[in-house]
């Protein structure tokens, strides 16, 4: 039998590697930005067109590459970061596998321009699908400019799996945030379709967070800091009252590399225990510095997961550091929360000697004597005289005559009539009994509505039923654009990050069809002048947060799926909750509206809205 195992051609091997390295345009952005940082750049510019499908360009002012380096950088497993296997455990750079540029060049058209400071001219290389089409000398500034065009042009199946431009842009912004926040000492600019998205000047950690997430973020931050032999912890956590339903503002950085860690996230949540509302997530921007030998970065293809030597100790330190900061800045209540600040000992009393108090007592004092002479043996004491209570009747002298004078009619109580407390023979007499008999619905435990049918009775879950009613009403309004809006006397101004505003802009038209009226979408702020008639003003902020959370988690494309998700998310927040009292009219409206729906049996989340009990089933209980 002939041999059947053979070596793959380089272009096929590169395409296979690209499947691991390049999952979407955001993957390319991450690799190119990290290469620019490793090149010691101080300014980095990211240019995107059509959410990265047409163009991804990164321009930096780093050290640049020689002619040989420029050519070798596109070879597989060619890297300047490591030389031996031991170097993998002492990494201080971002990229180190040497597969990024080779993988990108296998599935796109790549143009590279680079020049070192000592050289007069630079090098320009063009590659299409792993094949170098040209290499020549060019005039270019110091540093490197790399353009990736027509991503997945030779793998149309992979291109078809890409989401809409708005979704892919959100992923790119996510990667941009992660890199930019880890390096506040580098200036970052980002442009999408020739419009400026971010302009982040050189700053410190706090300023970089504020520049990324908006000016109002500054007042929400609580600094944390701790230094130990194992780890140095720094950064900020958000105040509990600003916790959101989304997890978008949660960042861990280890040695300036963004990571995801459910274990460390649990430590943060444990520190906030008892301070957060239900289903709310704290914001945090935590920077950890550890010995490179104590971590293993190379356990995940995207390098977003890290293995720590001593996770348990790190967990305890992180939790205690955050709890300490929350208490130190009076965010969390301290144990002695009734402490009176006026009782604190001033600092200047620290070296003051305590004085023994001197007490004098009048030993001849007798409270049971009628009178006491002022010539008491105590020199500095006045005599004590007990008042006689024998003439207490004098207190009421003249009161009788005062009450009988014609000028004091307002104090004459003879004309006061007392309310009758006569008990009726029956609780349900007359009109009350008839009114009760007309009620065909009853509320059980402020959670269920019970009503009768010919065959027995129906028990309705009021929250799920109202969710179904609101869901179908919102769907009709969005598709027919016939929603009723209530104008606000004073416009609402809500602050969001640029990423969240971009997300809301994708569903702006559908939101307007539900009844929202928007003012301007300013930098980090949205103005709302009208809201849906089914929602209240105090619910708007929570409603939009829930919507953003659902949109981020499910990431729908435009079309019915997005409209359906929008209606589901809004109905979830607008629907009345369990524990709300409903009067008989509201109960009847709920029952009639539910059975007027096209699908009354299930909620938008496919859970039953009601159950029926027939007379036979009830009979079996007896």
Least Cα distance to 437 among 445, 428, 450, 446 occurs for 428
> What value does the mean pLDDT take over residues 174-189?
92
pTM: 0.69
Q: 270-296 pLDDT, tens per residue?
A: 999 888 887 788 899 999 998 888 877
> What value does the mean pLDDT take over residues 402-414?
52
- Say if CB 173 and CB 28 are below 8 A apart: no
What is the reported pLDDT for 610? Answer: 92
Residue 168 has pLDDT above 80, yes or no: yes
Q: Which CATH class is domain 10-200?
A: alpha beta
Q: What is the DSSP string of 446-497?
A: TTEEEEEETTEEEEEEHHHHHHHHHHHHHHHHHHHT---EEEEEEEEEEE--
**Residue with the larger pLDDT of the pair 351 and 90:** 351
Q: What is the DSSP string of 174-192?
A: HHHHHHHHH-TTSEEEEEE
Helix (H) or strand (E) holding 225: strand 221-227
What is the reported pLDDT for 435? Answer: 41
Our measurement of the distance from residue 133's CA atom to the centroid of its chain's CA atoms, rounded to an integer in Å, reads 48
Q: 226-240 pLDDT, tens per residue?
A: 998 888 999 999 998
Q: Which two tokens stand for residue 252?
A: 């861990």
Q: 473-525 pLDDT, tens per residue?
A: 888 888 776 677 888 888 888 888 777 887 888 788 888 888 888 887 776 78
| Domain with residues 207-328, CATH architecture | 2-Layer Sandwich (3.30)
Question: How many angstroms separate the first and last alpha carbons of the chain?
Answer: 80
Q: 69-126 pLDDT, tens per residue?
A: 888 888 877 776 666 666 565 666 666 556 788 888 888 999 999 999 999 999 999 9
User: What percent of the chain lies above the pLDDT cut of 90?
Assistant: 25
- Say if CB 219 and CB 467 are below 8 A apart: no
**Residue with the larger pLDDT of the pair 392 and 151:** 151
User: What percent of the chain lies above the pLDDT cut of 70?
Assistant: 78
Tokens 């019915």 belong to which residue? 560
What is the reported pLDDT for 182? Answer: 92
> What are the residue ranges of CATH 3.30.1370.100 in the chain?
444-610
Range in 283-297, 381-395, 417-431, 457-471 with the lowest mean pLDDT: 417-431
What is the reported pLDDT for 281? Answer: 87
What is the reported pLDDT for 278? Answer: 77
> What are the residue ranges of CATH 3.30.565.10 in the chain?
10-200
Mean model confidence pLDDT for the chain: 80
Least Cα distance to 120 among 144, 135, 136, 139 occurs for 139
Residue 423 has pLDDT above 50, yes or no: no
> What value does the mean pLDDT take over residues 322-339?
70
Q: Which two tokens stand for residue 303?
A: 């390098």
Least Cα distance to 55 among 197, 193, 199 occurs for 193
> What value does the mean pLDDT take over residues 413-421?
54
What is the reported pLDDT for 88? Answer: 60
Residue 392 — left, alpha, or beta (φ > 0 → left; ψ -120 to 50 → alpha)? alpha
Tokens 């001219």 belong to which residue? 121
> What are the residue ranges of CATH 3.30.230.10 in the chain?
207-328
> What value does the mean pLDDT take over residues 214-233?
88
* CA separation, residue 537 to residues 487, 529, 530, 540, 545 (Å): 10, 10, 9, 6, 14
Q: Domain 444-610 in CATH: superfamily?
A: MutL, C-terminal domain, regulatory subdomain (3.30.1370.100)
What is the reported pLDDT for 181? Answer: 92
**Residue with the larger pLDDT of the pair 391 and 252:** 252
What is the reported pLDDT for 311? Answer: 86
Residues 450, 440: Cα–Cα separation, whole Å: 8
What is the reported pLDDT for 333? Answer: 58
**Residue with the larger pLDDT of the pair 351 and 302:** 351
- Say if CB 62 and CB 41 are below 8 A apart: yes
Residues 112, 143: Cα–Cα separation, whole Å: 11
Residue 190 has pLDDT above 90, yes or no: yes
Residues 158, 271: Cα–Cα separation, whole Å: 43
Residue 404 has pLDDT above 70, yes or no: no
Residue 327 has pLDDT above 70, yes or no: yes
Name the pLDDT band for 136 (thresholds 50, 70, 90): very high
Residue 417 has pLDDT above 70, yes or no: no
Residue 480 CB-density burial (10 A; 0-12 exposed, 13-18 middle, 19+ buried): exposed
């Amino acid at each position: 039998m002939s041999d059947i195992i053979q070596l793959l051609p380089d272009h096929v091997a590169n395409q296979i590697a690209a499947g691991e390295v390049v999952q979407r345009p955001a993957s390319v952005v991450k690799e190119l930005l990290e290469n620019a940082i490793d090149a010691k750049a101080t300014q980095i510019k990211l240019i995107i067109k059509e959410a990265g499908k047409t163009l991804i360009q990164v321009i930096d002012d780093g050290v640049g590459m020689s002619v040989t380096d420029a050519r070798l950088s596109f070879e597989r497993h060619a890297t300047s970061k490591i030389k031996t296997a031991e170097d993998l455990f002492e990494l201080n750079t971002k990229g180190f596998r040497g597969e990024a540029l080779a993988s990108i060049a296998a599935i796109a058209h790549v143009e590279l321009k680079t020049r070192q400071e000592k050289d007069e001219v630079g090098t320009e290389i063009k590659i299409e699908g792993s094949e170098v089409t040209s290499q020549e000398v060019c005039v270019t500034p110091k540093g490197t400019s790399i353009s990736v065009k027509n991503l997945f042009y030779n793998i149309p199946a992979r291109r078809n799996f890409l989401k809409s431009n708005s979704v892919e842009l959100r992923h790119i912004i996510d990667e941009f945030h992660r890199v930019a926040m880890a390096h506040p000492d580098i200036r970052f600019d980002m442009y999408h379709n020739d419009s400026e998205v971010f302009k982040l000047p050189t700053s410190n950690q706090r300023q970089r967070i504020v520049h990324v997430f908006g000016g109002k973020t500054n007042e929400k931050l609580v600094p944390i800091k701790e230094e130990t032999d194992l780890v140095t912890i720094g950064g900020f956590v958000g105040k509990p009252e600003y916790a959101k339903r989304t997890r978008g503002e949660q960042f861990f950085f280890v040695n300036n590399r963004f990571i995801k860690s459910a274990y460390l996230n649990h430590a943060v949540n444990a520190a906030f225990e008892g301070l957060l509302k239900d289903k709310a997530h704290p914001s945090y921007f935590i920077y950890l510095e550890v010995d490179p030998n104590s971590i293993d970065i190379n356990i995940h293809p995207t390098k977003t997961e890290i293995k720590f030597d001593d996770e348990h100790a790190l967990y305890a330190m992180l939790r205690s550091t955050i709890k300490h900061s929350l208490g130190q800045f009076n965010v969390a209540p301290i144990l002695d929360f009734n402490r009176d600040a006026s009782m604190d000992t001033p600092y200047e009393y620290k070296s003051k000697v305590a004085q023994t108090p001197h007490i004098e007592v009048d030993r001849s004092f007798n409270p049971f004597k009628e009178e006491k002479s002022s010539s008491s043996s105590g020199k500095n004491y006045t005599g004590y005289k007990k008042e006689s209570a024998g003439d207490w009747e004098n207190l009421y002298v003249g009161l009788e005559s005062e009450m009988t004078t014609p000028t004091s009619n307002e104090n004459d109580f003879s004309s006061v009539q007392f309310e009758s407390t006569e008990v009726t023979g029956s609780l349900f007499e007359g009109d009350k009994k008839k009114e009760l008999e007309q009620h065909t619905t009853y509320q059980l435990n402020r959670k269920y509505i019970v009503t009768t049918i010919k065959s027995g009775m129906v028990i309705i879950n009021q929250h799920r039923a109202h969710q179904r009613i609101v869901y179908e009403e919102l769907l009709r309004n969005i598709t027919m654009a016939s929603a009723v809006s209530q104008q606000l006397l004073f416009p609402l101004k809500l602050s969001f990050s640029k990423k969240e505003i971009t997300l809301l802009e994708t569903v702006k038209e559908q939101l307007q069809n539900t009844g929202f009226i928007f003012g301007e979408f300013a930098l980090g702020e949205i103005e709302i002048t009208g809201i849906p008639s089914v929602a209240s003003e105090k619910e708007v902020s929570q409603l939009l947060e829930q919507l953003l959370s659902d949109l981020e988690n499910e990431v729908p494309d435009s079309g019915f799926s997005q409209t359906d998700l929008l209606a589901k998310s809004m109905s979830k927040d607008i629907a009345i909750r369990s524990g709300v009292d409903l009067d008989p009219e509201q109960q009847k409206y709920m029952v009639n509206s539910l059975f007027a729906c096209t699908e009354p049996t299930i909620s938008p989340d496919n859970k039953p809205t009601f159950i029926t009990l027939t007379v036979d089933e009830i009979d079996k209980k007896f």
